[in-house]
Amino acid sequence: MYKLIATILVSFGALQAVQAADQSCEDQAVAKHLAGAAKNSFVKKCERTSQAAAAKEQCNSQADEKKLHGAARTSFVNKCVRTASAPN
């Protein structure tokens, strides 16, 4: 039960980070005086980068919960990130 609650909280935190990053991506585009296609391209790339970072953070916390180290941790995190970033 504890692991389920911890996973939910980590997921919620990652979602908040992505939402905050979405806003900051828009803010960054405005600060760079981007408009039109350049702005859209910048925001999409920024959001992908933010989502990948959030997925990696979540996967690392899951590896911590499982107490993984070394090659097992690296393999788990890589697979987790690929799964999280796979198109639905």
Say whether pLDDT at 37 is over 70. Answer: yes
Domain boundaries along the sequence of the chain: 2-85
Return d(Cα 74, Cα 86) in angstroms, integer.
Answer: 18
pLDDT of residue 16: 53
pLDDT band at 86 (very low <50, low <70, confident <90, very high): confident
- The residue-averaged pLDDT of 73-78 equals 96
The residue with greater pLDDT, 88 or 47, is 47
Give the pLDDT confidence of 42-75 residue by residue, as tens digits: 999 999 999 889 999 999 999 999 999 999 999 9
- Say how many CA atoms lie within 13 Å of 30 toward its Cβ: 6
Give the pLDDT confidence of 15-31 residue by residue, as tens digits: 455 445 557 899 999 99
Return d(Cα 76, Cα 88) in angstroms, integer.
Answer: 20
